[in-house]
Amino acid sequence: MHQNSHQVDSHEPVMLAEVIEYVKPQKGESYLDATAGLGGHAAAILNLTGNYNQSVLIDRDETALKRLSSSFSGSGIKLLHQDYLNSAKELIQKNRTFDIILADLGVSSPHLNEVSRGFSFTKTAPLDMRMDQRQEKTAADIVNKTSEKQLAEILRNYGEEPRYRKIANLIVKNRPINSTTELAGLVRKAWVGHSRTHPATRTFMAIRIAVNDELTQLSQALPLWLELLAPGGRLAVISFHSLEDRIVKQYFASESGNRYDAALTLLTKHPVAPGPHETANNPRSRSAKLRVAAKQK
Ligand SMILES: C[S@@+](CC[C@H](N)C(=O)[O-])C[C@H]1O[C@@H](n2cnc3c(N)ncnc32)[C@H](O)[C@@H]1O
């Protein structure tokens, strides 16, 4: 088998050139991909390192895992069908370390395109939004069982939705809500006048973040990733949401700086954004921000 021959979906990995430029993968280095998805970043990085045996690909989504296991079959790489927080705990227990760790956060295009998963508000589907379908809590639980106050908090904190009170109130008054389009229709009612994006965009993002505990996963995983980095190892995080980027920025700042005990050196002083060519070709990349830091040697 040729190690350079792993084929992945045509889906373009976000800021791949920038990831390679800042992370500078070297021959023989070990790689941990916390959110391997379709394996685009992984294939490119592993082609440079050539070290499959000491590398690990994680995804909590079963469809992603199946695709990864066929794209990387026979390569000797380890695949983990688990969330990256619990995976990091397990890898620490096994005393593993990695030269490169990448987390490309959020959902992947198959999630959004597979109507039945309930991530999209444009087609009717059950309110699901679980990345890991073994998990019990679904979007329907959040929408139909959470108190009005908690719902409003979710919409405000995770969606940065200005009409969080009105939308939470409409949801509670119209429960049970059974489908994505029913929910999107209610959100539209809370909006008078013009909204640049579909008015349901922020509500759906907020509920998705809550269903998958995305911010807790990220803030708790960051110190574990630092622990998993080998001296001189690089940690790269691509975020798509200002709250995620803030968590990464603050964590990197807290572990770096001109202190004798700083654990990290920032390789990106400011977040790196995709170039105009990429944003024109891949709308999902528009909100992406990349931050990279290296562990002290
Ligand atoms: C943006 S996609 C990654 C795309 C990938 N870098 C590529 O090149 O194809 C994010 C992936 O991370 C997974 N994911 C998101 N949060 C996760 C978590 N907490 N633990 C494990 N996987 C997660 C999603 O299921 C999705 O497949």
Superfamily of domain 16-110+214-295: Vaccinia Virus protein VP39 (3.40.50.150)
Which of 14, 60, 114 maximizes ligand 1 atoms within 8 Å of its Cβ, making it the mutation to test the pocket?
A: 60
Contact 145, 193 (CB under 8 A): no
**Partners of 264 in the beta sheet?**
295
Write the pLDDT tens digit of every residue in 168-192: 999 999 999 999 999 999 999 988 7
What's the whole-model pTM score? 0.94
**Hey, what long-range contacts does 181-184 have (CB within 8 A, 24 or more apart)?**
181/121, 181/122, 181/123, 181/124, 183/121, 183/127, 183/143, 184/121, 184/122
DSSP for residue 53? T
To the nearest whole percent, how much of the chain has pLDDT over 70?
A: 96
Give the tens place of pLDDT for each residue, 111-160.
778 889 999 998 999 999 999 999 999 999 999 999 999 999 999 999 99
C-beta separation of 101 from 291 below 8 A:
no
Does the beta carbon of 37 lie inside 6 Å of ligand 1?
A: yes
Quickly state the pLDDT bin for 11 (edges 50, 70, 90): low
Architecture of domain 136-211: Orthogonal Bundle (1.10)
| Domains of the chain by residue range | 16-110+214-295, 136-211
Spatial distance between the Cα atoms of 234 and 79, rounded to a whole number of angstroms: 21
User: Using a 6 Å cutoff on CB, does residue 40 contact ligand 1?
Assistant: yes
Angle of helix 16-23 relative to helix 40-49, nearest 10 degrees, comes to 30
Contact call for residues 44 and 50 (beta carbons, < 8 A)? no
Q: What is the pLDDT of residue 114?
A: 87
